[in-house]
Amino acid sequence: MKVLVTDPIDEAGLARLRSAGHEVVTDVDIDTEGVIEIVEDVDALLIRGTEITRAVFEAAPNLQIVSRAGIGVDNIDIPAATDHGVIVANAPRGNVRAAAEQTIGLAYTAARQIPQAHLAVGAGEWAGTEGVELGGRTAGIVGLGRLGQEVARRYDNLGMDVVAYDPYLGAARAEQMGIELLDLDELLAEADLLSVQARKTDETIGMIGAEELDAFQGDIVVLTSRGGLIDEQALADAVESGSIAAAGVDVFSVEPPADDNPLFGVDEIVVTPHLGAKTHNAQVNVAVTAADQIITALEGGEVTNA
């Protein structure tokens, strides 16, 4: 059967599809409109960032599965997939460690202003900002799903107290992890570091705006799950005004972001280009899982997303 791959996916996954007998067509330069033009005879889509809209499903009568080589499926119109009887699959585990490590990297980077010091030294200036330590302080995690939990374990190992806001997590599970669940306003009042790892949903978009950043009593913000959960202009304003000392941001409301994104050009905000999952291990893991989901679906098997 024909599998269309519209984003860079590790060869390990593509080889798996070919050895299962499928035809793999790769076109990583097309956008959603381009997908619509060539999807008519496609049985499966293997994607990462490409937006899969209702119009894609309408143009793809043979489509059986859209498999995403990553965790979030917020770029796929799920109700439209359901209406067209198309399975939506993801790779929920393979890149979590990579994303958790990037989160901790950004937390330290913001706390110690490491890239800024690197640039200063490279420019002949033997100088750097006095940073803050993470150990002994409180991390407030928003969103305690798989990524949030991995991040929580790491903050704990750094000697931080960890509190969290997650209206979907039971208190018993949080207690098992030794994490105190708080309301968002309590978390903003208690945390020194605000670490946002929630999924992107209608409820979470813009959940941290100017009001919440104003209520935040700590000094560092880290965002690594999805862009747009924190209002970008509000975060830039808060850091520029000094009410928040620094931030580390890996994800943006629009990717790639426009050159005039407010987070660019604020000295104390460190930005990276959605690198969380970008390690070789993680990319192999998610490619293989996503390919296996397709192979299973095309053989009529049960896709579990586990």
Q: Which of 9, 277, 290, 297 binds ligand MLT (CB under 6 A)?
A: 277
Work out how close the CB of 249 gets to ligand MLT at its nearest, in angstroms, rounded to a whole number: 13
**Would you report the helix, strand and coil content of the chain in percent, each value rounded to 5?**
35, 15, 45
**Residue facing ligand MLT at closest CB distance:** 70
- Rounded to 10 degrees, the C-alpha dihedral 103/109/112/117 comes to 180
145 binds ligand MLT (CB under 6 A): no
Closest listed residue to residue 223, CA positions, set 188, 271, 181, 183: 271
* Binding of residue 200 to ligand MLT (CB under 6 A): no
Considering the rule CB under 6 A, would residue 105 count as an interface residue with ligand MLT? no
Nearer to ligand MLT, 2 or 278 (CB): 278
- Tell me how far, at minimum, the Cβ of 225 lies from ligand MLT, in Å: 7
- Dihedral over Cα of 200, 297, 95, 164: its sign: positive
Closest contact distance (angstroms) between CB of 70 and ligand MLT is 3
Q: Minimum distance from CB of 102 to ligand MLT (Å)? A: 10
Closest CA to 135 of 108, 117, 110: 108
248 makes contact with ligand MLT (CB under 6 A): no
Q: In terms of CB distance, is 104 or 174 closer to ligand MLT? A: 104
The CA–CA distances, whole Å, from 57 to 81, 290, 305 equal 7, 19, 20
* Residues with catalytic function: 226, 255, 274
Q: Among residues 48 and 137, whose Cβ is nearest to ligand MLT?
A: 48
Q: Give the nearer residue to ligand MLT in terms of CB position, either 100 or 160.
A: 100
Minimum CB distance to ligand MLT, residue 95 (Å):
5
Site string for ligand MLT, 30-69 (x = CB under 6 A): ------------------x---------------------
Residues 291, 288: Cα–Cα separation, whole Å:
5
Pick the binder of ligand MLT from 50, 95, 204, 289 (CB under 6 A): 95
Question: For residue 192, what are the β-bridge partners?
Answer: none
Alpha-carbon gap, residue 126 to 197, rounded angstroms: 35
* Residues contacting residue 121 through CB under 8 Å, at least 6 positions apart: 127, 128
Dihedral of alpha carbons 289, 290, 296, 302, sign? positive
User: Is 70 near ligand MLT (CB under 6 A)?
Assistant: yes
> Could you tell me which of 74, 50, 47, 68 has the C-alpha nearest to residue 229?
74
Q: Is 72 in the site for ligand MLT (CB under 6 A)?
A: yes
Q: How far is the CB of 183 from ligand MLT (least distance, A)?
A: 27
Query: What is the crossing angle of helices 96-112 and 146-157, to 10°?
Result: 50
* Residues at the contact surface with ligand MLT, assessed by CB under 6 A: 48, 70-72, 95, 276-277
